[in-house]
Structure 1
């Protein structure tokens, strides 16, 4: 059943005749008559009892008219809602953000986004980068902030590149160095983000590449707690320099991690083959606008 033929029939009833209906839908009386006849042929029942120059609805016509009004109204509502979504007056942004770094990098963006698009509902998920990657892959979120992914399933936009620093107890002899390699730290216990964080995986992979399996003294998802553990002499940890500067501790010293091609690269990522809503596209446009001078993607065209 086509909406075109249904609308022609409904207008004949509303306007009280075929010629009046033709004027209402900006077409000819012949076109309206053909549309109603096509609808009758499709249904297999007459919709009008034609008595002389008058047309009276049949029982089937009454049913089609009542249902048709609702169908056409629902169609108009659907198109109106889609227009609102296209205009970003309504919609949903399903956004994943990392537990580390979001307050600095993404909170200001969320404030701008909310100001520009107050009708968009923001559904926020917070996890480490490794977990966010899995959630994004499953299609449960549209866009995620995470450390630059290596999977070709994703495309991504860089947001911030930060060198990594080593945090050591302030009285440790290695704290006098200007930079340290992972091999320099192989005999010290590591305090790492837990396994849901990409930085956990990165440190382990690069340590093994340097020829040793690190001793892990503790794992946590809380930056301040990890810094406190370092200050208590429990081991060393690794943070992006930006985050280390936000968590100063009198008993902790910061030294640059001098590993080549090992940095904290925060980005926003999305499934390369996935559908992006207008709300998600608006978020990506905002990220590009605010971080236009972000670093180039390493290793990518």
Structure 2
């Protein structure tokens, strides 16, 4: 079994098809298709159920995919350690951060890191927590900013804890309240982030604990747009306090969400037991020195 064929199969699954996978691995679609067929022949089981231009994993494919991403991550660890052994002078720090809160929390840390280690290249990706967890598990990034629950395969350092604030229009009946519960908002539409954002999961699970499913008026990936929609009266939005208080350009009222289990806790996570390059270890030291805010 070759890592080349495993990589081709993994990218077909990730990218949703052979043509997109071919672009990622810098090969032709035919080459990727042959690599997956070679892997299937070697294992003696079909890995993909091909339906026209689409395909989905078989039961065997799910097992191979789960194992393959770990094998490929281990290969990356091996290559990283060998590069360090050969005396690599420049390093790379691969970070995955969520759009919510990253600029406020990490911009000063980036500046300090750059000042201390000017030759280290920082590769930054931004996604919701669910996608960042996948990238971290696959070894494609060294660290990810995640919200709970954090999988056992990751170690984590808490960076910040914040209560959530409900963003309501200034003429909303609850605008003058000091605090609200989700029960108070049961009949009110919500403005949420797109799927994949852990903040959505926090809100939805808290609503279910209160015995209802929220009515979603709109979704977006843009914090400012979500705040504008809430200010315009489309629905209630939710943001961590430190982010909500920065939305001063929007005429809006901020009301504390007094609801157990809704605290926004951002942690810096990494693969438990994985090799950390000197560049990654230096970042982790700074995060730990800063401690929990």
**Cα offset for 1:282?**
0.7
Matches of 2:219 and 2:99, distance apart in 1: 14
Matches of 2:159 and 2:204, distance apart in 1: 24
Structure 1 residue 160 corresponds to structure 2 residue 167: no
* SS of equivalent to 2:217: strand
**Cα offset for 1:191?**
0.2
The match for 1:150 is 150
**Cα offset for 1:146?**
2.1
The match for 1:82 is 85
Matches of 1:80 and 1:129, distance apart in 2: 30
The answer to whether the Cα contact below 8 Å between 1:143 and 1:270 also exists between their aligned partners in 2 is yes
The answer to whether the Cα contact below 8 Å between 2:206 and 2:261 also exists between their aligned partners in 1 is no
**Cα offset for 1:149?**
3.7
Unaligned runs of 5+ in 1: 1-77, 296-301
The match for 2:113 is 113
* SS of equivalent to 1:145: strand
Q: For residues 232-255 of structure 1, give each alpha carbon's deviation from its aligned partner in whole angstroms, at most 9, with x where no partner exists.
A: 110000000000111125531111
The answer to whether the Cα contact below 8 Å between 1:231 and 1:249 also exists between their aligned partners in 2 is no
Change (3 A) 1:90 1:250: closer
After TM superposition, which residue ranges in structure 1, 4 or more long, deviate above 3 angstroms? 78-85
The answer to whether the Cα contact below 8 Å between 2:227 and 2:250 also exists between their aligned partners in 1 is no
Query: How many equivalent pairs are there?
Result: 213
Unaligned runs of 5+ in 2: 1-80
Matches of 1:240 and 1:80, distance apart in 2: 41
| Superposition map of 1:23-42 within 5 A | none
Give me the TM-score of the superposition, normalised by structure 2: 0.69
**Cα offset for 1:120?**
1.4
The match for 2:140 is 140
Larger deviation: 140-149 or 204-213?
140-149
* SS of equivalent to 2:245: helix
The match for 2:269 is 269
**Cα offset for 1:83?**
6.3
The match for 1:245 is 245
Matches of 2:82 and 2:156, distance apart in 1: 32
**Cα offset for 1:262?**
1.8
Q: For residues 249-283 of structure 1, give each alpha carbon's deviation from its aligned partner in whole angstroms, at most 9, with x where no partner exists.
A: 55311110001232111110011132222211110
Structure 1 residue 95 corresponds to structure 2 residue 98: no
* SS of equivalent to 2:244: helix
The match for 2:203 is 203
The match for 2:104 is 104
